[in-house]
Chain A
């Protein structure tokens, strides 16, 4: 009763709690917030205090003095730091509600399909302690497919590959349910790590996560260019041989080499999913193909390498970065019809 009254003061939210970015969709308003999932925590006299959340905190990542920590509370799509994640959700709820303190919204949060019950529970409890009245969970492939506009409730197979920051979700969906889902803990983060390790191994240059991410977005590619080295970009870091900062040029071909391992893992996950798909659904997928969503789908030639590997039509969803948030939001808007696709939290 009390919660219902508070509910009237609150707006319902759908949260794509991603490893890299958190997107918040508010009912009847659309996506209102898109910030990195980073929290800066200051440690003053043994007490932890939240210094900044989101964009502000991301600027601090890797540049903090001793008493400040810039933390990414999610790793591999699930909560790694329970306390900080809760603070982050709380911050987003307050931000959406213009810092009103009595907000008690209904929240839908998406979770990786491969997450364990404990991990789901952690996300649910974080949201509850952050003030949510009721928490629903939705599996990421489902949210991504709804967000991409696939006819998931029809009796026809749809295949979606959502390459997120922490995980890659491969899902085959039909009749509002997930027929097969596979979640591999490879995503944008692993690509960044692959770039860092490539630079260190091959060029003796130590680069930061931020630099690696930027270079991936600029000239990253899944397939080396047909001829030549492709585009080039300068990359800055610390030389491991003599310890001084250094700048060097890196080409698209080198990036393809660096990203080979995580990309291959994603391709393998897709192939395994196809192997496990029922023949009728496989028939539907041959017709319509695979839809790529998520930030990782923006990696150049990702569709091409999947097309080559699977011989299927592979298309990129419209606005792949927001697909999951839009899909989760659509569930919120069409709660009456889409309630079945949600995982009701107890």
Chain B
């Protein structure tokens, strides 16, 4: 009904704001504002806001325009000039600034990209740690222990006078990984047990070790308690280090400690007398530092660590010595003893 509505007011009365003009028209028609609100369903406060020019109270420009249009139509006025005037008066306030809708901060279903970075870092640290600490448990402490022990061995005349043969007998027994020493004799000084390793490159040429080492390596791997191979294994040792055939099968108990004169003061030597002996040595932290079967004549030099404890499967067959002294027997042959502290108490009778 635009023709009907466009009555006398084709344009806004001059010098009046949109609100004042609407108010004037309404008062001229003697209509209450409440009536407009009820008929047009517009909240009274919004109509008041339009009449008084408080446009900030309106819910938005778009709604404001709609209310002005509805109000003007109710008063049977042509709404367009009023809308134009309303827009002009309202131009200072920006129509509607559309903000970006809230963006997801954390992906619920997937993984936050940050976790990939953190996870990658943790993985890298774990790998690094594994590379650093996953070697032979014996090797890292020995690397550091070498220099003081060399000094100690120099101070011990017994160690210096030891013929190369003894080191031959010792080297294979202590090698859990013979390939390391074979491939690189010079760096072998670090992973090898302190004394023999230091002396090996100097005293013994690398070649004689070669045939012996693989055999012992194989023999020591699965480590069953008793092996019929004990004798046959000893055989190749003898021809290889031709210099000292007698020293290798050092079976006499006193000979074993004597055969390990490289032992530093206070260092324990474990050796098997006539029968194979299974031993397991743990340190103060409860960590197993050695677990193997000693064949007759074989011996193991226990690294110096606090709180060493020995478990053996053949109490009568094991010979424990320290500083050239042999400890009394721990028990009968074939008897198992657990958690025996490797310290001075071994030499007192009461310890057994």
Contact = CB atoms under 8 A, between A and B. Distances in A.
B160 interface: no
A149 B41 contact: no
Interface stretch (A17-25, A233-241, A255-263, A333-341): A333-341
B99 interface: yes
Interface string A306-318: 0100011111111
A11 interface: no
Given A288-B59, A317-B66, A334 B98 contact: yes
Contact of B102 (A175, A291, A312, A330): A175
Interface string A162-184: 00000000000001110000000
A289 B63 contact: yes
Contacts of B98: 146, 151-153, 330, 334, 337-338
A154 interface: yes
Interface string A4-43: 0000000000000000000000000000000000000000
A222 B69 CA distance: 18
B96 A337 contact: no
Contacts of B69: 315-316
A336 B100 contact: yes
A307 B71 CA distance: 13
B62 A317 contact: yes
Nearest to A293: B62
A291 B59 CA distance: 13
B96 to A, nearest CB: 5
Contacts of A330: 98
Nearest to B45: A287
A314 B40 CA distance: 8
Contacts of A316: 66, 69
Given A287-B43, A288-B59, A289-B42, A313 B100 contact: no
B67 interface: yes
Contacts of A86: none
B37 to A, nearest CB: 9
A303 interface: yes
Contacts, number: 84
B60 interface: yes
B3 interface: yes
Interface in A310-329: 311-318
A150 interface: yes
A334 B97 CA distance: 11
Nearest to B71: A315
Interface string B66-92: 110110000000000001000000000
A231 interface: yes
B80 to A, nearest CB: 10
A313 B69 CA distance: 12
Contacts of B67: 313, 315
B103 A340 contact: yes
B63 A291 contact: yes
A149 B100 contact: no
B100 A338 contact: yes
Interface string B191-224: 0000000000000000000000000000000000
18 contacts: A150-B96, A151-B96, A153-B98, A153-B99, A153-B101, A154-B99, A176-B102, A177-B101, A231-B1, A231-B3, A287-B43, A288-B59, A289-B42, A313-B43, A313-B66, A315-B65, A317-B66, A337-B100
Interface of B: 1, 3, 40-43, 59-63, 65-67, 69-70, 83, 95-96, 98-103
Given A289-B63, A313-B42, A315-B65, 19 more contacts: A146-B98, A149-B61, A151-B60, A176-B101, A177-B101, A221-B1, A230-B1, A289-B42, A289-B66, A291-B63, A300-B1, A313-B43, A313-B67, A314-B66, A315-B69, A317-B62, A338-B98, A340-B103, A341-B101
